[in-house]
Structure 1
Amino acid sequence: MKPESQSQIKVLFVCMGNICRSPTADAVFRHTVKKANLEHAFSVDSAGTHAYHVGNPPDRRAQGAAMRRGYQMNDLRARKVHPDDFAKFDYILAMDHENLSILQQRCPDRFSHKLELMMHYSKGVYSNHEVPDPYFGGDQGFETVLDMIEEASLGLLEHVCNYKAHG
Protein backbone atom coordinates (compact mmCIF):
# COMPACT_ATOMS: atom_id res chain seq x y z
CA MET A 1 0.00 0.00 0.00
CA LYS A 2 1.30 3.46 -0.90
CA PRO A 3 1.45 6.39 1.51
CA GLU A 4 -1.98 7.91 1.74
CA SER A 5 -3.28 11.43 1.74
CA GLN A 6 -6.21 12.82 3.68
CA SER A 7 -8.27 13.26 0.51
CA GLN A 8 -7.95 9.64 -0.59
CA ILE A 9 -10.88 7.27 -0.29
CA LYS A 10 -9.71 4.45 1.94
CA VAL A 11 -11.11 0.96 1.31
CA LEU A 12 -10.46 -2.12 3.45
CA PHE A 13 -11.51 -5.60 2.27
CA VAL A 14 -12.00 -8.21 4.99
CA CYS A 15 -12.31 -11.99 5.10
CA MET A 16 -11.37 -14.50 7.78
CA GLY A 17 -7.66 -15.23 7.25
CA ASN A 18 -6.69 -12.58 4.68
CA ILE A 19 -5.12 -15.06 2.27
CA CYS A 20 -7.87 -15.77 -0.31
CA ARG A 21 -10.87 -13.48 -0.71
CA SER A 22 -9.79 -10.16 0.78
CA PRO A 23 -6.35 -10.02 -0.92
CA THR A 24 -8.11 -10.95 -4.16
CA ALA A 25 -10.51 -8.03 -3.64
CA ASP A 26 -7.54 -5.79 -2.78
CA ALA A 27 -5.71 -6.71 -6.01
CA VAL A 28 -8.79 -6.55 -8.24
CA PHE A 29 -9.97 -3.21 -6.88
CA ARG A 30 -6.47 -1.68 -7.13
CA HIS A 31 -6.39 -2.84 -10.77
CA THR A 32 -9.91 -1.46 -11.41
CA VAL A 33 -8.93 1.90 -9.94
CA LYS A 34 -5.68 1.98 -11.95
CA LYS A 35 -7.56 1.22 -15.19
CA ALA A 36 -9.81 4.21 -14.44
CA ASN A 37 -6.73 6.42 -13.84
CA LEU A 38 -7.85 7.02 -10.26
CA GLU A 39 -4.92 5.50 -8.34
CA HIS A 40 -4.21 8.85 -6.71
CA ALA A 41 -7.73 8.98 -5.26
CA PHE A 42 -7.69 5.64 -3.41
CA SER A 43 -5.86 3.83 -0.67
CA VAL A 44 -6.67 0.10 -0.69
CA ASP A 45 -5.83 -2.60 1.87
CA SER A 46 -7.07 -5.95 3.12
CA ALA A 47 -7.16 -7.75 6.46
CA GLY A 48 -8.63 -10.75 8.24
CA THR A 49 -10.86 -11.05 11.26
CA HIS A 50 -8.57 -13.83 12.55
CA ALA A 51 -4.78 -13.94 12.93
CA TYR A 52 -4.30 -17.39 11.38
CA HIS A 53 -1.91 -16.33 8.61
CA VAL A 54 -0.41 -12.98 9.72
CA GLY A 55 2.66 -12.12 7.65
CA ASN A 56 1.99 -14.79 5.00
CA PRO A 57 1.45 -14.05 1.30
CA PRO A 58 -1.92 -14.86 -0.27
CA ASP A 59 -2.76 -18.50 -0.95
CA ARG A 60 -0.81 -19.77 -3.98
CA ARG A 61 -4.06 -20.82 -5.68
CA ALA A 62 -5.53 -17.33 -5.22
CA GLN A 63 -2.33 -15.81 -6.60
CA GLY A 64 -2.33 -18.17 -9.58
CA ALA A 65 -5.95 -17.45 -10.49
CA ALA A 66 -5.36 -13.71 -10.09
CA MET A 67 -2.18 -13.74 -12.21
CA ARG A 68 -3.99 -15.55 -15.02
CA ARG A 69 -6.33 -12.54 -15.17
CA GLY A 70 -3.57 -9.95 -14.87
CA TYR A 71 -3.85 -9.11 -11.15
CA GLN A 72 -0.79 -8.88 -8.94
CA MET A 73 -0.99 -9.74 -5.26
CA ASN A 74 2.45 -11.17 -4.49
CA ASP A 75 3.31 -7.97 -2.58
CA LEU A 76 0.43 -8.46 -0.11
CA ARG A 77 0.85 -9.98 3.36
CA ALA A 78 -1.90 -11.16 5.67
CA ARG A 79 -2.76 -9.06 8.68
CA LYS A 80 -5.53 -8.95 11.23
CA VAL A 81 -8.03 -6.10 11.39
CA HIS A 82 -6.72 -3.52 13.85
CA PRO A 83 -9.00 -1.38 16.05
CA ASP A 84 -7.59 1.76 14.34
CA ASP A 85 -8.89 0.50 10.98
CA PHE A 86 -12.46 1.45 11.91
CA ALA A 87 -11.49 5.14 12.13
CA LYS A 88 -8.96 5.07 9.29
CA PHE A 89 -11.00 3.52 6.46
CA ASP A 90 -14.05 4.97 4.69
CA TYR A 91 -15.33 1.60 3.46
CA ILE A 92 -14.81 -1.67 5.34
CA LEU A 93 -16.17 -4.43 3.15
CA ALA A 94 -16.64 -7.98 4.42
CA MET A 95 -16.77 -10.97 2.12
CA ASP A 96 -19.56 -12.75 4.03
CA HIS A 97 -22.11 -12.35 6.81
CA GLU A 98 -19.97 -14.18 9.39
CA ASN A 99 -17.07 -11.77 9.01
CA LEU A 100 -19.43 -8.80 8.80
CA SER A 101 -20.91 -9.87 12.12
CA ILE A 102 -17.45 -10.12 13.70
CA LEU A 103 -16.63 -6.63 12.42
CA GLN A 104 -19.93 -5.27 13.76
CA GLN A 105 -19.13 -6.67 17.22
CA ARG A 106 -15.68 -5.05 17.24
CA CYS A 107 -16.57 -1.75 15.59
CA PRO A 108 -17.27 1.35 17.71
CA ASP A 109 -20.86 2.50 17.07
CA ARG A 110 -19.74 5.79 15.51
CA PHE A 111 -18.04 3.89 12.64
CA SER A 112 -20.63 1.17 12.04
CA HIS A 113 -21.94 2.97 8.92
CA LYS A 114 -18.66 2.03 7.17
CA LEU A 115 -19.34 -1.73 7.38
CA GLU A 116 -20.99 -3.56 4.47
CA LEU A 117 -20.80 -6.72 2.44
CA MET A 118 -18.56 -6.43 -0.62
CA MET A 119 -21.26 -7.87 -2.84
CA HIS A 120 -23.63 -5.04 -1.89
CA TYR A 121 -21.92 -3.22 -4.78
CA SER A 122 -22.55 -5.94 -7.33
CA LYS A 123 -25.15 -5.06 -9.96
CA GLY A 124 -25.13 -8.32 -11.86
CA VAL A 125 -25.77 -11.98 -11.28
CA TYR A 126 -23.96 -11.95 -7.92
CA SER A 127 -25.88 -9.03 -6.47
CA ASN A 128 -26.04 -9.21 -2.67
CA HIS A 129 -24.48 -12.68 -2.46
CA GLU A 130 -21.69 -13.65 -0.10
CA VAL A 131 -18.24 -14.33 -1.53
CA PRO A 132 -17.69 -18.03 -0.69
CA ASP A 133 -14.44 -19.10 0.93
CA PRO A 134 -12.55 -21.13 -1.70
CA TYR A 135 -9.85 -22.34 0.72
CA PHE A 136 -11.07 -25.93 1.13
CA GLY A 137 -12.38 -26.35 -2.40
CA GLY A 138 -10.89 -26.76 -5.84
CA ASP A 139 -9.46 -24.27 -8.31
CA GLN A 140 -12.89 -23.36 -9.70
CA GLY A 141 -13.75 -21.73 -6.37
CA PHE A 142 -10.97 -19.18 -6.89
CA GLU A 143 -12.30 -18.42 -10.38
CA THR A 144 -15.80 -17.87 -8.97
CA VAL A 145 -14.39 -15.56 -6.30
CA LEU A 146 -12.65 -13.54 -9.02
CA ASP A 147 -15.84 -13.34 -11.10
CA MET A 148 -17.78 -12.05 -8.10
CA ILE A 149 -15.15 -9.57 -6.97
CA GLU A 150 -14.61 -8.19 -10.47
CA GLU A 151 -18.34 -7.49 -10.73
CA ALA A 152 -18.54 -5.86 -7.28
CA SER A 153 -15.34 -3.83 -7.82
CA LEU A 154 -16.86 -2.10 -10.83
CA GLY A 155 -20.00 -1.33 -8.83
CA LEU A 156 -17.96 -0.05 -5.88
CA LEU A 157 -15.92 2.27 -8.07
CA GLU A 158 -19.09 3.56 -9.75
CA HIS A 159 -20.72 4.12 -6.34
CA VAL A 160 -17.76 6.01 -4.93
CA CYS A 161 -17.39 8.17 -8.03
CA ASN A 162 -21.12 9.01 -8.04
CA TYR A 163 -21.05 9.73 -4.29
CA LYS A 164 -18.04 12.04 -4.66
CA ALA A 165 -19.65 13.82 -7.62
CA HIS A 166 -23.00 14.32 -5.87
CA GLY A 167 -22.04 14.18 -2.20
Structure 2
Amino acid sequence: MSRRDGNPSPLRIAFVCTGNICRSPLAEALARHHLDRAGIGARFVVESFGTHDYHVGDGADPRTVATAARRGIDLSTHRARQVSAAQVGAADLVFAMDSGHLAFLKRMIAITDQGRLHLFLPWTGAPARVPDVPDPYYGSQEGFDAVHDLLDGAAARMAAKCAAFTGGGHG
Protein backbone atom coordinates (compact mmCIF):
# COMPACT_ATOMS: atom_id res chain seq x y z
CA MET A 1 0.00 0.00 0.00
CA SER A 2 1.11 3.57 -0.34
CA ARG A 3 0.69 7.11 0.84
CA ARG A 4 -1.87 9.34 -0.77
CA ASP A 5 0.99 11.08 -2.65
CA GLY A 6 1.81 7.82 -4.45
CA ASN A 7 5.09 7.17 -2.62
CA PRO A 8 5.17 3.36 -2.25
CA SER A 9 7.38 3.28 0.84
CA PRO A 10 5.69 2.84 4.21
CA LEU A 11 5.37 5.81 6.53
CA ARG A 12 7.66 5.49 9.54
CA ILE A 13 6.32 6.32 12.99
CA ALA A 14 8.52 6.36 16.10
CA PHE A 15 7.45 6.68 19.73
CA VAL A 16 9.94 7.91 22.32
CA CYS A 17 9.96 7.81 26.12
CA THR A 18 12.78 7.66 28.67
CA GLY A 19 13.86 4.02 28.85
CA ASN A 20 11.69 2.37 26.17
CA ILE A 21 10.16 -0.05 28.66
CA CYS A 22 6.80 1.48 29.66
CA ARG A 23 5.14 4.19 27.59
CA SER A 24 6.73 4.07 24.14
CA PRO A 25 6.60 0.27 23.65
CA LEU A 26 2.95 0.29 24.69
CA ALA A 27 2.23 3.19 22.33
CA GLU A 28 4.01 1.29 19.54
CA ALA A 29 1.97 -1.87 20.11
CA LEU A 30 -1.31 0.01 20.41
CA ALA A 31 -0.56 2.03 17.28
CA ARG A 32 0.08 -1.17 15.33
CA HIS A 33 -3.13 -2.66 16.70
CA HIS A 34 -5.26 0.32 15.69
CA LEU A 35 -3.56 0.78 12.30
CA ASP A 36 -4.25 -2.90 11.57
CA ARG A 37 -7.89 -2.54 12.70
CA ALA A 38 -8.22 0.43 10.34
CA GLY A 39 -6.95 -1.75 7.51
CA ILE A 40 -3.80 0.31 6.93
CA GLY A 41 -1.17 -1.40 9.07
CA ALA A 42 0.87 -2.49 6.05
CA ARG A 43 1.39 1.16 5.12
CA PHE A 44 3.38 1.89 8.27
CA VAL A 45 6.56 0.90 10.05
CA VAL A 46 6.07 1.57 13.76
CA GLU A 47 8.96 1.58 16.24
CA SER A 48 9.79 2.83 19.71
CA PHE A 49 12.90 4.07 21.46
CA GLY A 50 14.15 5.55 24.71
CA THR A 51 16.05 8.77 25.19
CA HIS A 52 18.46 7.02 27.56
CA ASP A 53 20.30 3.71 27.56
CA TYR A 54 19.14 2.56 31.00
CA HIS A 55 17.35 -0.55 29.73
CA VAL A 56 18.80 -1.25 26.26
CA GLY A 57 18.16 -4.90 25.39
CA ASP A 58 15.67 -5.42 28.22
CA GLY A 59 12.07 -6.38 27.71
CA ALA A 60 9.22 -4.05 28.52
CA ASP A 61 8.47 -3.47 32.19
CA PRO A 62 6.60 -6.55 33.50
CA ARG A 63 3.74 -4.34 34.71
CA THR A 64 3.36 -2.86 31.22
CA VAL A 65 3.48 -6.35 29.68
CA ALA A 66 0.84 -7.66 32.11
CA THR A 67 -1.46 -4.65 31.66
CA ALA A 68 -1.24 -4.95 27.89
CA ALA A 69 -1.74 -8.73 27.92
CA ARG A 70 -4.95 -8.41 29.95
CA ARG A 71 -6.25 -6.27 27.09
CA GLY A 72 -5.06 -8.45 24.23
CA ILE A 73 -1.81 -6.64 23.37
CA ASP A 74 1.41 -8.71 23.24
CA LEU A 75 4.64 -7.02 24.31
CA SER A 76 6.57 -10.22 25.00
CA THR A 77 9.08 -9.74 22.17
CA HIS A 78 9.83 -6.05 22.79
CA ARG A 79 13.46 -5.12 23.48
CA ALA A 80 14.40 -1.62 24.59
CA ARG A 81 16.46 0.53 22.24
CA GLN A 82 17.99 3.98 22.59
CA VAL A 83 17.03 6.57 20.00
CA SER A 84 19.61 8.01 17.62
CA ALA A 85 19.59 11.03 15.34
CA ALA A 86 19.52 8.64 12.36
CA GLN A 87 16.35 6.96 13.63
CA VAL A 88 14.68 10.31 14.21
CA GLY A 89 15.77 11.43 10.76
CA ALA A 90 14.37 8.30 9.13
CA ALA A 91 10.93 8.68 10.71
CA ASP A 92 8.07 10.59 9.12
CA LEU A 93 6.42 11.15 12.50
CA VAL A 94 8.15 11.05 15.87
CA PHE A 95 5.90 11.10 18.91
CA ALA A 96 7.36 12.10 22.27
CA MET A 97 5.56 10.88 25.34
CA ASP A 98 6.23 14.10 27.25
CA SER A 99 7.66 17.57 26.84
CA GLY A 100 11.06 16.53 28.23
CA HIS A 101 11.38 13.89 25.52
CA LEU A 102 10.33 16.41 22.89
CA ALA A 103 13.03 18.85 24.04
CA PHE A 104 15.60 16.02 23.95
CA LEU A 105 14.60 15.10 20.39
CA LYS A 106 14.71 18.71 19.23
CA ARG A 107 18.36 18.89 20.31
CA MET A 108 19.16 15.84 18.16
CA ILE A 109 18.19 17.14 14.74
CA ALA A 110 18.33 20.28 12.63
CA ILE A 111 15.62 22.85 13.19
CA THR A 112 14.50 22.38 9.58
CA ASP A 113 13.64 18.74 10.33
CA GLN A 114 11.74 19.36 13.55
CA GLY A 115 8.32 19.42 11.90
CA ARG A 116 8.22 15.65 12.26
CA LEU A 117 8.45 15.90 16.08
CA HIS A 118 5.25 16.02 18.13
CA LEU A 119 3.88 15.41 21.57
CA PHE A 120 1.69 12.35 21.04
CA LEU A 121 -1.42 13.32 23.00
CA PRO A 122 -1.94 16.83 21.56
CA TRP A 123 -1.28 15.55 18.02
CA THR A 124 -4.10 13.05 18.44
CA GLY A 125 -6.53 15.65 19.74
CA ALA A 126 -6.33 14.90 23.46
CA PRO A 127 -7.51 17.72 25.74
CA ALA A 128 -4.87 20.45 26.04
CA ARG A 129 -4.86 20.06 29.82
CA VAL A 130 -3.15 16.68 29.35
CA PRO A 131 -0.17 17.23 27.01
CA ASP A 132 2.12 14.58 28.54
CA VAL A 133 1.72 10.84 29.01
CA PRO A 134 2.55 10.32 32.71
CA ASP A 135 5.38 7.94 33.54
CA PRO A 136 3.93 5.01 35.51
CA TYR A 137 7.33 3.50 36.38
CA TYR A 138 7.48 4.56 40.04
CA GLY A 139 3.75 4.27 40.66
CA SER A 140 1.10 1.66 41.28
CA GLN A 141 -0.73 -0.72 38.97
CA GLU A 142 -3.48 1.87 38.65
CA GLY A 143 -0.96 4.16 36.95
CA PHE A 144 -0.15 1.50 34.38
CA ASP A 145 -3.86 0.94 33.74
CA ALA A 146 -4.44 4.69 33.33
CA VAL A 147 -1.51 5.03 30.91
CA HIS A 148 -2.82 2.10 28.88
CA ASP A 149 -6.26 3.71 28.62
CA LEU A 150 -4.76 7.07 27.68
CA LEU A 151 -2.50 5.58 25.00
CA ASP A 152 -5.21 3.30 23.65
CA GLY A 153 -7.54 6.22 22.99
CA ALA A 154 -4.74 8.29 21.48
CA ALA A 155 -3.60 5.40 19.25
CA ALA A 156 -7.15 4.95 17.95
CA ARG A 157 -7.35 8.66 17.09
CA MET A 158 -3.90 8.50 15.48
CA ALA A 159 -4.97 5.57 13.30
CA ALA A 160 -8.04 7.50 12.15
CA LYS A 161 -5.87 10.50 11.20
CA CYS A 162 -3.43 8.22 9.40
CA ALA A 163 -6.25 6.55 7.48
CA ALA A 164 -7.45 9.96 6.33
CA PHE A 165 -3.90 10.97 5.36
CA THR A 166 -3.20 7.83 3.36
CA GLY A 167 -6.61 7.84 1.73
CA GLY A 168 -7.61 4.40 2.81
CA GLY A 169 -8.79 2.03 5.44
CA HIS A 170 -12.24 1.35 6.67
CA GLY A 171 -12.02 3.60 9.75
Both structures adopt the same fold (TM-score exceeding 0.5): yes
Structure with larger RCO (C-alpha < 8 A, sep 6+): 2
Among 75, 91, 95, the residue aligned to 1:93: 95
Query: For residues 1-167 of structure 1, what are the structure 2 equivalents within 5 Å?
Result: 7-123=9-125, 128-165=130-167
Distance 1:109 1:36 in 2: 33
* 2:122–2:128 contact (8 Å) kept in structure 1: no
Question: Mean Cα displacement is larger for which, 25-34 or 50-59?
Answer: 25-34
Distance 2:56 2:68 in 1: 20
Name the amino acid aligned to 1:163: F
Q: Which runs of 4+ in 1 moved over 6 A?
A: none
Counterpart contact for 1:20–1:134, Cα < 8 Å: yes
Deviation of the 1:127 alpha carbon: 6.8
Q: Which runs of 5+ in 2 are unaligned?
A: 1-6
- What is the total number of aligned residue pairs between the two structures? 162
Q: Gapped runs of 5+ residues in structure 1?
A: none
Q: TM-score, normalised by structure 1?
A: 0.90
* Counterpart-to-counterpart distance in 2, 1:71 and 1:157: 16
Distance 1:54 1:6 in 2: 32
RMSD over aligned CA atoms reads 1.9
TM-score, L = length of structure 2: 0.88
